Amino acid sequence: MKNQLRNEYDIVGQPTPKKDGALKALGRAEYADDISMPGMLHGKLLRSPHPHAKIVRIDASRAAALPGVRAVVTGKDFPGVKYGNLPQTRDYLPLAVDTVRYIGEEVAAVAAIDEDTAEEALDLIAVEYAPLPAVFDPEDAMRSGAPLLHDKAPGNISAQVAFEFGTVDEAFSRADYVRDDTFETQPVKQGMLEPHACVGLWDDSGKISLWACKMSPYVVWRQLAMGLGVELGNVRVVQTFVGGGFSGGKQEAMPMDFCAVMLSKRTGRPVKLVHTMDEVLTIGHMRHPMKIWLRTGTDKEGRLLAQHCKMIANGGAYSSIGGFSMYLAGAMLNIPYRIPNLRYEAKRVYTNNGFCGALRGHTNTQICFARDSQLELIATDLGVDLIDIRHRNALQPGEKTANGFRIGTFAFDECIDRVVELSGWREKHGKLPKYRGIGFGCGSHISGARLMGHSASAAQIRVQEDGTVQLTTGSTDVGQGADTVLSMIAAEVLGVTVDDVRFARVDSDSTPVDPGTFGSRVTFFTGNAVKRAAEDARRQLAEIAGKRMNVDPDDLVFRRREIISRLDDRQRMSLKEAVRWGAFQTGQLVISHGSYAAGDEKIDFRTGHGNLSPAYNPSACAVEVEVDPETGQVKVVGFWGADDSGFPLNPLAVKGQVIGATVMSFGPALYETLIRIDGKVMNPSFRDYKMPLTTDIPKLDNFQHSNVVTWEPEGPFGAKEAGQGAGTGVIAALANAIYDATGVRMNSLPMSPDRIFFALKQNKEKERAAKQSSAAAE
């Protein structure tokens, strides 16, 4: 099946280098900080040193008087309209007005002739704070008497969700085996290499322009208009090259964006603001730390009968997209295994820490860590084979989950089997030398989602008279390869090359509105829109060519920049000839558009019921580790993963995505964590916020990923997502590998050397004590 598909297409299915790769390798791609405009000023943000305080007074007079300073703004300079991600939880302001709620929150901004002066000016802004009691732990924050962060949120509950599917209590009573475990995960930052940066311009005509590294420029466009109290039509957001996103601040309008344009209004000049990396690591935007209590009931053979999950998420000071995150974690419990009865209760709690939102994997990484770690514990207790238990519970194509997900293609069994084969699982598990182990982990993800707000994508195509194709969408390439894959789709349909397609970066003045790049939606949603736009362009071209050649348009095929009659291949013309003829002779331009909305099913976010995504991806992996018992250090020596991403449109990019997602999970599993003491981030530096390096991944021969190829009918040319699912099973696989290697079960992330060392020590002492008491007994 796989080979057949590949031969059928000219473009899709072929490994294709990234279209903008050469520009980036030349160092010529313009990122936001690379922008320079005549008269441009440089901005800096002043941040709260307190985790919780009232702002009594701000005196910026000395700062404003510093030579070289051109403007200072504070919260009062904005209309006071709150903006945010979800309509019910808009709590962001461009700059704090009366209260600061976490160390690092933005309080004022300065524009000056250079950064040095702007920095000096910050020192001269006198802010009088009245510190308030602060709270950092979610359980403390929920107790009565705890400091209240937001008036409208008693008990500091930011979001609360409760779902129930099936008959949970009844199912538990039937279960042969029940266990519960608690897992804890840590705050994780996006870790992109490019810090947030923007240039803002508010010109004399009232037009506001922002050049910024945004993954979802239209979200920013709307938030800016709302927060500034201006008409959308007066706002223009231009997407620069994005140096890594992974969600977070690049998904939304940030204080720097608001301040850049406001400072520009004051000064009449463009204003650039760039975060330092320690600012990036200090501010909000990170993965929710979670405490997950999971009770699972199964039959004797490990079939999941019921699950009850109680989760507390440390949401930090503001809502961000947290309300949706709470729904999503519960939803993700429903895949990739069959859970007929499920109760899920989650609370997102405000604390005086940096706020949390979406980050690659979005709640799924935490949930899969808990669930797949526990699954092994269950299997071990029941004496069920670790692989069999996965197969036994694997969702199958065509099934519907308890919460209403309709599973289309879902080659989960094949993914599991492929990993067992590639990794040598059967020869290794339980058989490796002491302190060497192998663990299995599974996960899954969605291919885009039907959200409450903007879900649908659209694309426009204009075929030019030189045969090139101008493709515009509102989705962004953030490095993942959307520019190339979307161009490949258009090229395949129109019979041109990938290089013939010009993919434009987003400019809200000229590209179609779009939800943006998140939730693994672009290949699927926007890809479908592009395919439809290309098909319409092809229809128009066939009509023109048909007229010109006197051939029935239905008999025309498009290949290698030509339009050819399938009945007589002597009847042919070049694509560009057809465009010219149409334009010159009949005034018919080839302009098309297409859209995709994944149907009009609605999710009931209160009950959690509904089919969130048009397609789902299963993921399986095995990881082999070597643990040094004398230090607790874990070395990842082998990794084998298999994912069903449908038909991989660009195998080169799919490989980059699945390996990228995988390695991005190594860190949080083993050593990556944001360390906070009383609300202060202790390690806002890449030196101490440790992400994997080249020496932290297995040897290439032992690092393999395989695509289990299926054909998803809903997806463009059968494709599904590839950017997030692959990372979801990795952390559990590592936990399970550490268990196989050492007998120590780590339930708390990161599974850092000190924790493993002391857990091992404790285990040894228990063993010794047990031996002694059994010896004494004899």
Partner 1 sequence: MSYLRRLPKFEYLAARSIDETCDLLAAHSNEVRLLAGGTDLLLQMRRREACPAYIIGLKGIAELSGVTTLADGGLAIGAATTIQAVMSSPVVREKYGVLAEAAAGIGGPELRNVATIGGNLAGALPCADLPPALITLGAQVSLRSRNGERVVPVEDLFPQFGMTVARPDELLTTIQLPSVPSCSGGAYLKFHDRQSMDLTTVGVSALVTWDAASRTFRDVKIALASSAPVPLRARKAETLLRGRAFAEDALEEAALAVCDEADPRTSWRATRQFRFELLKSLTKRAIRGARQKAAPTIGDLS
Partner 2 sequence: MKHLLPIALRINGERHDLLVPPWRTLLEVLREHLGLTGAKRSCQEGQCGTCTVLIDGKAVNSCLYLAVEAQGMEIQTIEGLAKGGVLDQIQKSFVQKGGVQCGFCTPGFVLATKSLLNDNPNPSEDEIRVAMVGHLCRCTGYVQIIEAIQDAASQLKHVGGS
Nearer to partner 2, 182 or 685 (CB): 685
């990036």: which residue's tokens? 280
Is residue 376 classed as helix, strand or coil in its secondary structure?
helix
Q: How far is the CB of 42 from partner 2 (least distance, A)?
A: 10
CA dihedral 261, 266, 268, 274 (to 10 degrees): -40
Q: How far is the CB of 279 from partner 1 (least distance, A)?
A: 5
CB atoms within 10 A of CB 424: 15
Which listed residue (191, 249, 512, 515) binds partner 2 by CB under 8 A?
A: 191
Q: Which residues pair with 638 in a beta bridge?
A: 624
697 binds partner 2 (CB under 8 A): yes
Give me the least distance between CB of 761 and partner 1, in Å please. 8
From residue 698 to residue 737, what is the string marking binding to partner 2 with x (rule CB under 8 A)?
Answer: -xx--x----------------------------------
User: Residue 11 has which token pair?
Assistant: 């473009």
Least distance between partner 1 and beta carbon 338 (Å): 38
- How many CB atoms lie under 10 A from the CB of residue 5? 16
Q: Which residues, other chains included, contact 249 with Cβ-Cβ below 8 Å and sequence gap of 6+? A: 190, 196, 280, 283, 284, 285
Q: Which is closer to partner 1, CB of 441 or CB of 692?
A: 692
**Interacting residue with partner 2 among 91, 194, 577, 643 (CB under 8 A):** 194
Q: Least distance to partner 1 from the beta carbon of 708, Å?
A: 31
Candidates 14-22, 149-157, 330-338, 518-526 — which segment interacts with partner 2 by CB under 8 A?
A: 14-22
Question: Which of 279/562 has CB closer to partner 2?
Answer: 279
Q: How far is the CB of 116 from partner 2 (least distance, A)?
A: 8
CB of 422 to partner 2, least distance (A): 15
Task: Round to whole Å and give the CA distance between 640 and 666.
Answer: 13
Instruction: Please tell me the distance from the alpha carbon of residue 654 to that of residue 606, in angstroms, as a whole number.
Output: 35
Interacting stretch for partner 2, rule CB under 8 A, among 160-168, 252-260, 478-486, 523-531?
478-486
Question: 652 to 681, contacts with partner 2 by CB under 8 A?
Answer: 652-653, 655-656, 659-664
Residue 190 interface partner, choices partner 1, partner 2, none, CB cut-off 5-8 Å depending on type: partner 2
| Among positions 167, 182, 276, 586, the unique one binding partner 2 when judged by CB under 8 A | 276
Tell me, by CB under 8 A, how many residues bind partner 2: 59
- Write down the least CB distance from residue 336 to partner 1, Å: 31
Answer with the entry of partner 2, partner 1, none that 177 interacts with (C-beta below 5 to 8 A by kind).
none
Pick what 656 binds: partner 1, partner 2, none; C-beta below 5 to 8 Å, kind-dependent: partner 2
Q: Which does 774 bind (CB under 5 to 8 A by kind): partner 1, partner 2, none?
A: none
Rounded-to-integer distance, Cα 276 and Cα 286, Å:
17
Strands 69-74 and 436-446: unpaired
For residues 36 and 631, which CB has a smaller minimum distance to partner 1 in the complex? 631
Task: Say which entry of partner 2, partner 1, none residue 542 contacts (CB below 5 to 8 A, set by partner kind).
Answer: none
CA dist., res. 5 & res. 582, Å (int): 34
| Per-position DSSP letters for 642-680, written without gaps between them | EE--BS-S-HHHHHHHHHHHHHHHHHHHHT----EETTE
Q: Segment near partner 2 (CB under 8 A), from 55-63, 191-199, 321-329, 713-721?
A: 191-199
Residue 479 contact, options partner 2, partner 1, none, Cβ 5-8 Å cut-off depending on partner type: partner 2
Q: Which position has the token pair 């990938």?
A: 498
> Least distance in Å: CB of 660 to partner 1?
18
Binding mask 246-265 for partner 2 (x = CB under 8 A): x-------------------
**Number of Cβ atoms within 10 Å of the Cβ of 134:** 22
**Nearest-angstrom CA–CA distance, 171 and 298:** 9
- Phi and psi (nearest 5°) for 102? -160, 155
Selection from partner 2, partner 1, none that 241 binds (CB < 5 to 8 A by kind) is partner 2
> In the numeric block, which tokens belong to residue 709?
């190829």
171-174 contact pairs (CB < 8 A, 24+): 171/297, 171/305, 171/306, 171/340, 171/341, 172/295, 172/297, 172/305, 172/306, 172/308, 172/341, 174/297, 174/305
Please state the closest distance from residue 103 (CB atom) to partner 1, in A.
6
Q: Which of 18, 101, 308, 445 binds partner 2 (CB under 8 A)?
A: 18
Q: Helices 364-382 and 730-742: crossing angle, nearest 10°?
A: 40
Of these partners, partner 2, partner 1, none, which one is at the site of residue 776 (CB under 5 to 8 Å by kind)? none
The DSSP bridge partners found for residue 347 are 160, 312
Distance of closest approach, residue 639 Cβ to partner 2, in angstroms: 10
Residue 23 or 56: which CB sits closer to partner 2?
A: 23
| Separation between Cα atoms, residue 292 and residue 313, nearest integer Å | 9
21 binds, among partner 2, partner 1, none (CB under 5 to 8 A by kind): partner 2
Whole-Å CA distances, 182 to 179, 185, 293, 370, 626: 10, 10, 4, 8, 26
Least CB distance from residue 771 to partner 2, whole Å?
42
Supply the angle between the helices 482-494 and 527-549 in degrees, to the nearest 10: 30
- Give min distance, CB of 702 to partner 1, in A: 15
Q: CB of 581: closest distance to partner 1 in angstroms?
A: 58
Kindly state the tokens that stand for 769: 């004590």
Omega before 340 within 30 of 0, i.e. cis: no
Binding region for partner 2 (CB under 8 A) out of 33-41, 343-351, 591-599, 609-617: 33-41
* 768 near partner 2, rule: CB under 8 A: no
Q: Which is nearer to partner 1, 193 or 567 (CB)?
A: 193
- Compute the Cα dihedral for 506, 508, 512, 513 and give only its sign: positive
675 binds, among partner 1, partner 2, none (CB under 5 to 8 A by kind): partner 1
User: Helix-strand-coil percent breakdown of the chain, rounded to 5?
Assistant: 35, 25, 40
* Residue written as token pair 């238990």: 389
> Which residues, at least 6 apart from 685, have a Cβ–Cβ distance to it below 8 Å?
277, 278, 281
Beta bridge partners of 91: none
* Residue 109 binds which entry of partner 1, partner 2, none, CB below 5-8 Å type-dependent: none
195 makes contact with partner 2 (CB under 8 A): yes
Stretch that binds partner 2, among 91-99, 303-311, 443-451, 682-690 (CB under 8 A): 682-690
Q: What type of residue is 173? A: S
33 contributes a contact to partner 2 by CB under 8 A: yes
Residue 644 near residue 720 (C-beta atoms within 8 A): yes
- Taking each continuous run of H as one helix and of E as one strand, the counts in the chain are 21, 28
Q: Does the footprint of partner 2 cover residue 38 (CB under 8 A)?
A: no
Q: Which residues bind partner 1 (CB under 8 A)?
A: 47-49, 103-104, 115-116, 119, 276-279, 282, 630-631, 633, 635, 670-671, 675, 677, 682-683, 687-688, 690, 692-696, 752-754, 757-758, 761
Contact pick of 144, 694, 773, 774 for partner 2 (by CB under 8 A): 694
Strands (DSSP E) contained in 495-552 are 501-503
Closest separation in Å from C-beta 686 to partner 2: 4
Select 109 or 615, whichever has its Cβ closest to partner 1: 109
Residue among 333 and 622 whose Cβ is closer to partner 2: 622
Beta-strand ranges (E) seen in 150-251 are 157-165, 177-184, 197-202, 208-212, 235-239
By the criterion CB under 8 A, which residues form the site for partner 2?
Answer: 15, 17-18, 20-31, 33-34, 36, 190-195, 241-246, 274, 276-277, 478-481, 652-653, 655-656, 659-664, 685-687, 691-695, 697, 699-700, 703
